[in-house]
Chains A and B, each alone.
Chain A
Amino acid sequence: MNVMTRPSQGGDVRWDELIRPDRVHGSLYTDPAIFEAELQNIWYRTWVYVGHESEVPNANDYVVKSIGPQSIIMTRDERGKINLLLNRCSHRGNQVCSYDKGNARSFTCPFHSWTFANDGRLVGYAFPDGYEGQDKSQLALGRVTRVQSYRGFVFGSFATDGPTLEEHLGGAAETIDRLVRTSPEGEVEVTAGFLKHRVKANWKFILENECDGYHPAFVHSSIFGVADSAIGKLYGGASTAVTRDYGNGHTEIDLRPEFRKRDQSLSWFGTNEQRLPDYVSRMKAAYGDQTSREIMIDGTPHVMIFPNLFIAEIQMFVIQPLGVDDSVQHVTALQFKGAPDMNRRLRQQTMGSVGPAGLLLADDSEMYERCHRGVLARNPEWIFLGRGEHRERRDENGFIVSQVTDEVPSRGIWRHYRSLMEAH
């Protein structure tokens, strides 16, 4: 247990030594060399969530996003196509876009006036006689190599080949299906603006906490107690809710067993049909009485799409790593297309819960920072993730599940992490 290891000395990391089935080494969170390796093997290779199509609804709309520390401009060009462009002039590297969002056919670099169309093409440079014979097509803005959407969620991958987005999402794609069908028009929108919450902690503390069903009873007891919330019981030792490992690093807390036991429409959202009459009538019109009732009992998913998209029932977080101990959580209320009364409540609940002053997330973030400082101590060297190993089972689709407080999600995340880090 306390054998000293030298994880990144000499550049050859023995991932199997650092990542074991029920424990991982503390240096995985704090070693700057490991963080650099993660950028190469995870953030700049696998599918990473970037933005949502509804953030650029019109031709020439753009919004500035990120993949890890890199600034990415997501544009919708004149033909309606979504592009993910690197915010870096192909001339001397200056950032070509300095605003968070807007509408622009082109981006002109302020340094030497090189101008790029919003599909990335270089369309002009100042005093062109100095570039006689140059091929402009070789000097376009850099782009994220592969771009694919799933139900409006836009992902990017810098790898020229590899799994498709659908292969990457695998069984977790169904959770996004489950999310969008909670909208009467079958679409979610990302239109409420983002809170940006910075923590001095490694990004994987955030990643692992999102589907950790063990902590809410303790970290969030202060708010569950005073808000008379029914959420606490979902995460108790007697809860029938489960944690699930979808593979590929995607993990879920599936609360549906508890909501189905309650058998009350919109109980998942702490409300009832009488308080959201407009939403309920639109859902019934869209899906029929029986199906809409099932949807409104089950609610939306609580799923962490590896490595950075967390759908937390009513809101969405995007995890951005900036450095080994520097991370940002971008968070917004999910909005259901065609459901204004629902959307108002989604925003109000989200604002109360999350962001720098959130009644829930400020306490989670405190744990991330304390964990980061804690693991700098190296005795014990390991983080123990063995909770519930003895009672894991397979669900009807073959995915590993266990009781809601069990550490199935962390084990699944690290299994996938190791496969990505060993592949290169």
Chain B
Amino acid sequence: MLARESSATLLQAVTAFLYKEARLQDEHQYEAWEALWTDDGVYWVPANGGDIDPEREMSIIYDNRSRISLRIKQLLTGKRHTQTPQSRLRRLVSNIELFDDINGDIAVASNSMVFESSLRDDTIWAARNEYRLRYVDGELRMAYKKVTLVNNEKALFTLSFLI
């Protein structure tokens, strides 16, 4: 258990990290966002609830580090039609809490709400985000991000920006 002061300092650092991540996503800074990942990063957006086994059942996204990289490379071609033109985005991040470490990684969760304006229409996305963060060379990095969309059991419109 962290002392009250160090916990507050960590929460401040984590909060700054999550805000930065949100801004990079909203502004489609793909390479800068990718640089937030550790080498063993896992990016998971489950479907049909939050407790499915991604090794057995379909997820909306279940990317290992190389597939995260592929996803970013595709966006960078400029021919990812569903993001040409790019969605206009702003998201709010709140309810940031620290939890007990998982295998030495900092466990964090937040809520987020994203407003997307695309050619199709305006869409609101809401999610619970669970992270495992780690200091690498003195900088916080994401080793794991799970995004549980509130309505992930329903039919969803295309989700081609970085959630």
**Chain A 179-198 interface mask (CB, 8 Å, partner B; 1/0):** 00000000000001111111
Number of interface residues of B (CB under 8 A): 36
**B121-A200 in contact (CB<8A):** yes
The smallest C-beta distance from A361 to any residue of chain B, in angstroms, reads 8
Residue of A331, A333, A347, A350 contacting most chain B CB atoms (<10 Å): A347
Since A194-B48, A333-B58, A357-B158 are in contact, a sample of 14 more A-B pairs with Cβ atoms closer than 8 Å, ordered by chain A residue number, is A100-B48, A100-B153, A192-B56, A196-B47, A197-B156, A198-B156, A222-B74, A222-B77, A356-B156, A356-B159, A363-B81, A365-B82, A366-B81, A366-B119
- The one of A195, A219, A223 that contacts B74, using a Cβ cutoff of 8 Å: A223
Within 8 Å of chain A (Cβ to Cβ): is B94?
no
Chain A residues within an 8 Å CB radius of B159: 356-357, 362
**Chain B contacts of A351 at CB under 8 A?**
58-59, 61-62
Q: Is A367 an interface residue (CB 8 A)?
A: yes
Name which residue of chain B comes closest to A350, CB basis. Answer: B58
A200 pairs with B58, CB closer than 8 A: no
Cβ–Cβ contact A219 & B58, under 8 A? no
Q: From B75, which residue of chain A is reached at the shortest CB distance? A: A222
CA distance A195 to B49 in the complex (A): 12
Contact B45 A328 (CB under 8 A): no
Binds A, one of B8-16, B29-37, B65-73, B95-103: B65-73
Number of A interface residues, CB 8 Å?
39
- B-side residues, CB < 8 A to A, are 45, 47-48, 52, 55-63, 67, 70-71, 73-74, 77-82, 119-121, 153-160, 163
Q: Give the distance in Å from the alpha carbon of A328 to the alpha carbon of B158 in the complex.
A: 11
B158: which A residues are within 8 A, CB to CB?
197, 199, 356-357, 362, 365-366
Q: Find out whether the CB atom of A222 lies under 8 angstroms from the CB atom of B79.
A: yes
Is A227 part of the contact surface with B, judged by Cβ < 8 Å?
yes
For B59, what are the chain A residues with a Cβ–Cβ distance below 8 Å?
A: 351
A363-B74 Cα distance, complex, nearest whole Å: 11
Separation of A226 and B57 alpha carbons in the complex (Å) = 26
